[in-house]
Chain A
Amino acid sequence: MHLLHILHRHRFAYLMLLPGLILSGMFVFYPIFAAVFYAMQDWSGFNADIKFVGFQNFVDLFRDPIFWNAFGRSIYFLAGTVPAQLVLSLMLAMVLNNQLLKLSNLFRTMVFLPVVTPVAVIGIVWTFLLSPFNGPINGLLLDIGLIARPIDFLGSSDTVMPSVIGVYVWKWLGITLIYWLAALQTVPEDVYDAARLDNCKGLRLVVLVVLPIIMPFAVAITLITMVSALNVFPLIMSMTNGGPFFGSEVMEIFIYRTAFASDDGTIPRLGYAAAAGVLFGLMILGLTILQSLATRMARRRAEGVA
């Protein structure tokens, strides 16, 4: 009765929530539950031959070396992109946050430009830039005598992951830069003044004064960047399609290939792909929980310091 009373009293607010709730239900909650359901089926996804297999798909996944390789590559991608993206963008943000720097807005825009460019366009353009046949990057390296033969950046498993990591960091540097700039705006001007009076500048100013203040943001930014780095499907699809020979097949490509784009002669395994998706989702969920815990801890520490 009490609940009904509350609902009635705030009916307008709940009515406003309804469209969002319906949309979330359709496009977020339903797919989540459906994925868990399909993960327990042996099903190709396109015929009526669907069989409940319990946790068999998960058991098979744990024994599948291709799955673990894809998992490992996702972690490799994470380790390759996140620190580089965080450090580079923080350095840029420090520079661009300087009010005295003229053209700061122009530089910010330039760094941000790749962020708003469609991923597929970036992927295709970089494929041409990195091409060993008439690609400008190889041309430059050959001209300056750094290499004797063109490097097949995207066609060799030794170079494909570092190449894709490099493009990814370049593409998303701007977004992390914006996060850092927002964080740096929270550092009061009088703190800088006080530091200056104490003759604290350069790296010491950053490490001893700025970083402790923006630490709660740093934790959040790190984890947002980590979660983003696990969502690289369009970039890798447009650049390498997961190849050569699984060389850049991260988890998302593994899921996609298993569910929809199986090789000639193999039948798609939607149930198996759904199981991989559920595992991958749990991994991202774990990271998100870590994020909230770490943010809370950092905030408490910051409050303790204050």
Chain B
Amino acid sequence: MTISQGLSRRNFILGSTAGGALLASGAGAQTVPAPINDVTGGATFRWIDSGDQKAVFFKKLFAEYAAARDVNIVYDPLPWNEIARVIPLGVRNETAPDVFVLPRNTSLADAVAQGWLQPYDDFIPDIETWKAGFPTGAFLPGINVFDGKTYGLPFTSNKRYSTHLLYNKDYMEAAGFDPAETPLTQSEFREAARKITEAGKGRYFGFILGGSQLNRWQDAVRNMGRMAGASAGGDSPLDADIDLRTGDYVFDSDEYIAAVELLIAMNDDGSFFPGLMNLNAPQARAYVPQGAAGMILQGPWNIPGWEAGHPEFDFGVASGPVPDQGPTGKLTISQAGAVPNTISLWAGSDNGAIAGEIFHYLGTLEGQVAWGTVVGAGDPPIMPEAIERAEFSPRSRFILNHFNEAIRVGPNPIVRNADLAKVISSFTAPDIGFARTVQGLVSGEMTGVAKEMKALKDRYNAALDAAFDKARTEGAQVDRADLVFPNWDPDVDFAAADY
């Protein structure tokens, strides 16, 4: 397939026609990607991602784009556990989709090293100018740029967290709290759950969480612990639960231990929704608008879903629980783009021209605003200006403002030493990892929070040391000291000049 660099007459006419048709039809913010490449008509282009509200945007975009460019687009939104099977198998069998998100246990660095992906620089004319439109920290060597070539497209913002409070306003008012006005402290959170459960008299309960979905336990403790003051990252094995000022894990910190103990206490209070341990996250989320549970710690993607699906449900959104005393700690992210939404072009794809046009569009302000307006606060666009200009509901805007307040960009060890990518790909978390340990402690299968969190820290230290050893035997120049940034202040963004 030949790629034209610049705008051919044919493409200009096609683009003008598509744009004109949209203007004439008065279709909302969403437009069709501009024709920047020569695209072969009749081609079949396949795309897999994790769906949810993203699917609403892509289904509409792809239908319009396919019609305008005379191509077939097969879009498959899949749950993460299926992505974990389908993508590796597809790559091995050479039947992978043209564009896909990576399974959660595969880093972009690993996928590039394994030859899964091809760069898309050749499919976006003047790519450097286009990349300059992204915020700082979107494209980083060792993260999504390898040997000067661009591999993953980070088009949604990483400034969000998955355990802010969503609550039933009626129940919360009856319990005597207003979290939107003043965030609940950890003790108030427990008290609210207890009071709501009491008022429910078996018809509804204070707190729900997808207890069979392990990462929900980990995220709840990590974010409550970090807001209570345990400064640590949460994005990759190089920063997750590590205090980057010292390079040490914080699993056994007072803040993490207190967060686990809070969940145990709430369970002992009887404030947990019955059967919570056997619910996955979507099931747990579904119970809240039904009035069966008063509070959930979840992500912003629920907001557009509930507003559309349950317009009668009066719910509030607020910060996750903050410490009883002292200032609220910031949540740290290690890069501007949201890792799970980062899309990549398969090495075996012949449809780079199509991918290039769609990627390009997603990286323009126009595409970003369209994205933000359709997808909402769940996966906010990466460009701050697009967040300003996109249409959001008051709840969505409230939570995006909160994210802006609560989240800071921290140091990213890979930026300082690209060889650390080898450590990520060598790292295997312990069998009984963070998430399982919290689930085990809350369910009563494990006892002794402080002892188990210390043992957890030891297991992670051993796993990380092993990953460093393995990376070194493969020639990487790496050391645990590479994870130490003594000048990091968790309350402010870590800028390029700070490295």
Contacts and interface: CB of A to CB of B under 8 A. Distances in A.
- The answer to whether A and B come from one shared complex is yes
Interface of A: 45-49, 64, 66, 127, 131-133, 135, 149-150, 152, 154-157, 240-241, 243-247, 260-268
B428 A155 contact: no
Given A133-B205, A133-B292, A245-B443, 5 more contacts: A49-B114, A150-B274, A243-B439, A245-B445, A268-B84
Interface of B: 81, 84-85, 88-89, 91-92, 104-106, 110, 114-115, 205, 211-212, 214-215, 218, 237, 240, 270, 273-278, 287, 292, 427-436, 439-440, 443, 445-446
Q: Output the residue of B89, B277, B292 with the most chain A CB within 10 A.
A: B277
A265 to B, nearest CB: 4
B211 A155 contact: yes
Given A264-B105, A266-B429, A131 B277 contact: no
A264 to B, nearest CB: 5
Given A48-B115, A245-B440, A245-B443, A266 B275 contact: no
A263 B110 CA distance: 18
A135 B92 CA distance: 44
The 4 closest A-B pairs by CB, nearest first: A46-B88, A132-B274, A155-B277, A265-B429
A72 B104 CA distance: 31
Q: Output the residue of A66, A243, A246 with the most chain B CB within 10 A.
A: A243
Given A245-B440, A264-B214, A155 B278 contact: yes
A245 B292 contact: no
A16 to B, nearest CB: 32
A262 B427 CA distance: 13
Contact of A47 (B110, B278, B429): B110
Contact of A263 (B205, B436, B443, B446): B436
8 contacts: A48-B114, A48-B115, A135-B275, A156-B443, A244-B277, A244-B445, A263-B429, A266-B429
A202 to B, nearest CB: 44
B197 to A, nearest CB: 12
Given A47-B110, A243-B212, A154 B278 contact: yes
Q: Output the residue of A156, A241, A262, A265 with the most chain B CB within 10 A.
A: A265
A66 B431 CA distance: 9
A265 B105 contact: yes
Contacts of A48: 114-115
A278 B87 CA distance: 26
Contacts of B445: 157, 244-247
Nearest to A132: B274
Nearest to A134: B292
Contacts of A45: 88
A29 B347 CA distance: 33
B183 to A, nearest CB: 27
B435 A133 contact: no
Contacts of B91: 46
A244 B105 contact: no
Contacts of B276: 155
A127 B278 contact: yes
B443 A266 contact: no
A154 B275 contact: yes
Contacts of A261: 81, 84
A132 B432 CA distance: 27
Contacts of B440: 245
Nearest to B439: A245
B104 A264 contact: yes
B237 A240 contact: no
Contacts of B439: 243-245
B168 to A, nearest CB: 16
Nearest to B89: A46
Contacts of A262: 105
A213 B81 CA distance: 51
B275 A155 contact: yes
Contacts of A241: 212
Contact of B433 (A131, A156, A265, A268): A265
A46 B439 CA distance: 28
Given A157-B445, A263-B429, A265-B237, A47 B114 contact: yes
B335 to A, nearest CB: 17
A305 to B, nearest CB: 51
Contact of A152 (B277, B292, B431): B277
B105 A268 contact: yes
A48 B89 CA distance: 12
A44 B278 CA distance: 28
B84 A133 contact: no
A157 B211 CA distance: 14
B428 A266 contact: yes
A264 B431 CA distance: 10
Contacts of B104: 264
Nearest to B446: A245
A266 B278 contact: no
A152 B275 contact: yes
A127 B270 CA distance: 21
A152 B274 contact: yes
A169 B58 CA distance: 46
Given A261-B84, A263-B214, A264-B214, A240 B443 contact: no
A262 B430 CA distance: 11
Contacts of A244: 211-212, 277-278, 439, 443, 445
A69 to B, nearest CB: 11
B92 A46 contact: yes
Contacts of A133: 205, 273-275, 287, 292
Given A152-B274, A260-B85, A266 B433 contact: yes
Given A47-B110, A244-B211, A267-B428, A260 B84 contact: yes
Nearest to A142: B202
Given A157-B443, A243-B212, A264-B105, A132 B275 contact: yes
Contacts of A154: 275, 277-278
A47 B240 CA distance: 24
B275 A131 contact: yes
Nearest to A160: B278
Nearest to A133: B274
A240 B213 CA distance: 11
Contacts of A47: 88, 110, 114
Nearest to A270: B88
